[in-house]
Amino acid sequence: MSEPLAPPRMRRPYQGRVLAGVAAGLSEHLQVSVSTVRVAFALLSLLGGLGVFLYAGLWITTPAGVPDPPRPPGLEAASRQNRRSTAEASALGRPQPGLLVALALIGIGMVMLVDRLVDTPGGAVWPLAVVTVGAGIVWRQAESREASRAAIIARVVAGVALVALGLVLFLAGRGELSELLDALVAVLVILAGAAIVAGPWLVRLVRDLQLERAERVRSQERADMAAHLHDSVLQTLAVIQRQADDPEAVARMARSQERDLRRWLYDEPDPAPNQVRAALAAVAADVEDAFGTPVEVVVVGDAELTPGGTVEAVVAAVREAVTNAAKHSAANRIDVYAEIADATMDVFVRDRGVGFDLAAVGVDRMGVRGSIVERVERHGGTASVTSTPGTGTEVHLSARLDRP
């Protein structure tokens, strides 16, 4: 599978570029400072525009981007799903406006200088400059990786218009404008003929390309799936086989695996981590893993957790209540219901376990007072516990939200 080591090829990086990344790529390739390369291009441009042509030539022939070293499929999948931080920035390095203005001024200055110094036929320098700018816009657009359709069309039209304007100026300067029209008609006829001949073939080419791209996405998704299954499910199955004589452990692992797969298959790819919904799901997962008791969480509405805030205190109290239920109730399931309205938050933690006599046992003995009641009351909320021996316990936490 591994490819033979290829000689290093010059690339035009997306990061650190000013125009098309030619200077940046060349500097990396030749191991010299990028400023040196840029100054060299500028100086060469004075030699009848040699630098500009050189730049354009390298622009055309050098591929953009940074070559990706091959990575294991698991890492590849994780990167594609945005589960890993990637060093490579996805956006085209956006040059600052100041830089572009400076570049434009330098360009104009250089054109004027050349115009002064070199004896060009029929004032060809200015039209040439306009053509260069127009072509630059189109070329740069061709490798832009993210832009709206409208922006693409606008840039291409602007670029082509500039090129056309430059050509017209050039011909007008030489008094050959009338001949241009004839030439234009001839060119259009030839283009139309070519389109008729090559059209179907081009259409098929484009369609094949799209199909191939879609197929590649699908196969990447399949690879993601395989990597995930290998990662989690196979691991769990292996452990389950080893601990087959411990039904409790097997049930716990199956439950944990089920939760994981369910989340992976059906959940929003990126749940906001500092919301009540996600926080309570994490509480449930932790308690399930620690005690093996399934915890069902139902949340209506949502709110943000602010450090030290009321919501965070309530969630912490819920964790205590659920842990208590898992430890002491012997229930086979714990239900958590949270309802968040505009200004209030109510959470109920219920188990159908052994329950206890509140009067006889005393709330303190269950560790309820400090960890649950006081925690919530400190934030102006209330906590109440109802329990009946034999039928179970319910903890009700209620608080006003301190959100604007």
Partner 1 sequence: MSMPGAEAATAPVRASVVVVDDHAVFRSGVKAELAGAVDVIGEAADVASAVEVIQRRPPDVVLLDVHLPGGGGVEVLRQVHSAQPEVKFLALSVSDAAEDVVGVIRAGARGYVTKTVTGAELVEAITRVASGDAVFSPRLAGFVLDAFAGDPGAMPTSGDPDLDRLSPREREVLRLIARGYTYREVARELVLSVKTIETHVSNVLRKLQLSNRNELTRWAAARRLV
Interface with partner 1 (CB under 8 A): 258, 262, 265-267, 296, 298-301, 333, 335, 337, 339, 341, 348, 350, 352, 394
Would you say 338 and 300 are in contact if contact means Cβ atoms under 8 Å apart? yes
Nearer Cβ to partner 1 (48/301): 301
212 vs 296, beta carbon nearer partner 1: 296
Helix, coil or strand: residue 372? helix
Nearer to partner 1, 193 or 271 (CB): 271
C-beta of 224 vs 335, nearer to partner 1: 335
3-state secondary structure 308-366: CCHHHHHHHHHHHHHHHHHHHHCCCCEEEEEEECCCEEEEEEEECCCCCCHHHHCHHHH
Do the Cβ atoms of 32 and 50 come closer than 8 Å? no
Least separation in angstroms between residue 265's CB and partner 1 is 7
Nearest to 156 by CA among 128, 136, 132, 185: 136
As measured in angstroms, the least distance from the Cβ of 17 to partner 1 is: 39
CB of 282 to partner 1, least distance (A): 16
CB of 404 to partner 1, least distance (A): 18
Residue whose CB is less far from partner 1, 103 or 343: 343
Token output for 69: 């070293």
Compare residues 161 and 272 and give the one whose CB is closer to partner 1.
272
CB of residue 334 to partner 1, shortest distance in Å: 8
Describe the chain by its helix, strand, coil percentages, rounded to 5: 60, 10, 30
Q: What angle do CA 169, 173, 174 make, to 5 degrees?
A: 125
Instruction: Provide, rounded to whole angstroms, the least separation between the CB of residue 285 and partner 1.
Output: 14
User: Which CB, 291 or 337, lies closer to partner 1?
Assistant: 337
Specify the DSSP element, H or E, that contains 119. Answer: none
Within a 10 A sphere around the Cβ of 170, how many other Cβ atoms? 21
Q: Which of 375, 393, 377 is nearest to 385 (CA)?
A: 393
CA distance 82 to 69: 18
Q: How far is the CB of 391 from partner 1 (least distance, A)?
A: 9
Q: Is 68 helix (H, G, I), strand (E, B) or coil?
A: coil
Least Å from the CB of residue 264 to partner 1: 11
Q: Where are the beta strands (DSSP E) in 204-331?
A: 295-300
Nearer of residues 80 and 333 to partner 1, judged by Cβ: 333
CB 279 within 8 A of CB 252: no
